[in-house]
Amino acid sequence: MKRTLDTFSQPNKENTGLFGKELSEYNFVPFDCVKLKNTELIWYNKDIVRSLGYPCDETTEQKILDNFSYVTPDYENSEKLDLSDRKVFLADRYGSPAEEANGGSARCGINGHFQIKGNGRNPLVAVNVDYGHSHGKVCLTEAVAEAIWGEICHFELPYGAVRTLAIIKTNGSILSDYGLGDMVEQPTALIIRELAVRPAHYERATYFWPASEFKYLRDSDHFYVKDSTLKLDAYCEDKFKGEKNPIFSYLLDAVTRMGHQIAISRVKGIPHGSLTSSNIGMDGAFLDFGTITAVPDYDNFVLTEGLGGVWDDHFPISRWLQNLFFYINKYSCYGLNEEEKKALISKFLSIREEYEDLETAKQCGLSGDDIYLKEVGKKIKEKLRENKTQRKALYGIVREDFISELNSVLSSLKIEKSNIDFNLRDIFYNKYTLTVDKRVAGFGGSNTDINEMISSYVSKYWD
């Protein structure tokens, strides 16, 4: 199905991505949206727009605004809404082993080939989650960060990221502590982003507690997991013809991608920080960038409470992989035996370590065959990780200190210094630097300022 910038009054299998194709129709909950008046397109991704075959002109800009300025009826006061202009959007259901969790994308709606993030509370909002996970909106700072990190990860990591198509300013505001630590009033925005199939789409939302009028979602959540798993079976049968267990072959490819992706992000110094089963795609792509940041060195920084440090988050990832395998085994026609489950976890861990070693050598500017680079990269990594297993809070980044440490390690190993990279280990890519930038912080600067800010991070990838 060719991607377009169109949305429709009623999404269906013919006009909307994922719906009834990669994922079951049961994975989606329809909810009504209305047109939000007086929105502004403050940034759009010219690289994506061109790839879709559209010109980067005022007509395309207006098309984006016209198709994606839709929110839930309680998003704003009625005078700010055009109640006569309505469209149905789809909230995608997914699971989590967490005891306090929404039932999926609780502030997102899919229609056509993109998803609006921040377009209001939908039926997947749980009654027992905190304010930040229940208000249904997105602040402008978060939208800008999503756009920036989507592009950086798309170009810097082997399996890319879910990219932002556009940011639409809603001319409203919300109390948010995004990136700041304190609740402050910030302007709201809509993030228009690409679609993704996540591991969580194949997990039940066991602890999801919806509002009383949506109780049926809790009682029937096994339907979407079962039906989507059977769709996955059919896909795997076609893709892995002749394989003894097609679902195992698919998952082997998935965990290989994830291990590779995580390794490169660690070594380049841009760990995601919150890799739950809903924050990475089955194809390895990163999404939801609320915790990602540059880090200064190979220390074990904690970016998200409860998910370990950036050098040991493979442990919680291994645990949710086991949860995923449980549901795949339960509903797949092929299932997974214990040996296959162990083999998948082992592959994930070994690939991660292998690419950490290889990428460390490459970031040091070394050349040679992969066997040599893995061997020498492992030695460098072990030196850089020496006495740094304890988890610690992230502080400021002084790139020169890391380069000095690295040069010392290379000298101790008698490795000739070369063209050292590690360019993302810089204060410029630190989360705090981005969120306090005057061009976006608070009510910040003009649309031109915001465009300039995003360009300062991503233009090098488009040139």
* Token pair belonging to 342: 């162990």
| Residue 376 one-letter amino acid | V
pLDDT in tens, the chain (463 residues): 799 999 999 999 999 999 999 999 999 999 999 999 999 999 999 999 999 999 999 999 999 999 999 999 999 999 999 999 999 999 999 998 876 689 999 999 999 999 999 999 999 999 988 766 778 999 999 999 999 999 999 999 999 999 999 999 998 999 887 766 677 888 999 999 999 999 999 999 999 999 999 999 988 889 999 999 999 999 999 999 989 999 999 999 999 999 999 999 999 999 999 999 999 999 999 999 999 999 999 999 998 877 789 999 999 999 999 999 999 999 999 999 999 999 999 999 999 999 999 999 999 999 999 999 999 999 999 999 999 999 998 887 889 999 999 999 999 999 987 799 999 999 999 998 988 888 887 676 788 999 999 999 999 998 7
Dihedral of alpha carbons 116, 284, 318, 387, sign: negative
Q: What is the pLDDT of residue 179?
A: 64
Q: What is the pLDDT of residue 396?
A: 78
In the beta sheet, which residues pair with residue 300?
391
Q: Could you tell me the pTM of the whole model?
A: 0.96
Report the C-alpha gap between 388 and 145 in whole angstroms: 29
Report the C-alpha gap between 322 and 413 in whole angstroms: 39
| Residue 461 one-letter amino acid | Y
Q: What is the pLDDT of residue 99?
A: 67
Q: What is the pLDDT of residue 270?
A: 98
| Integer angstrom CA distances of residue 202 from 94, 223, 397 | 7, 10, 38
Pairing of the two strands 391-393 and 300-302: parallel
Q: What is the pLDDT of residue 25?
A: 97
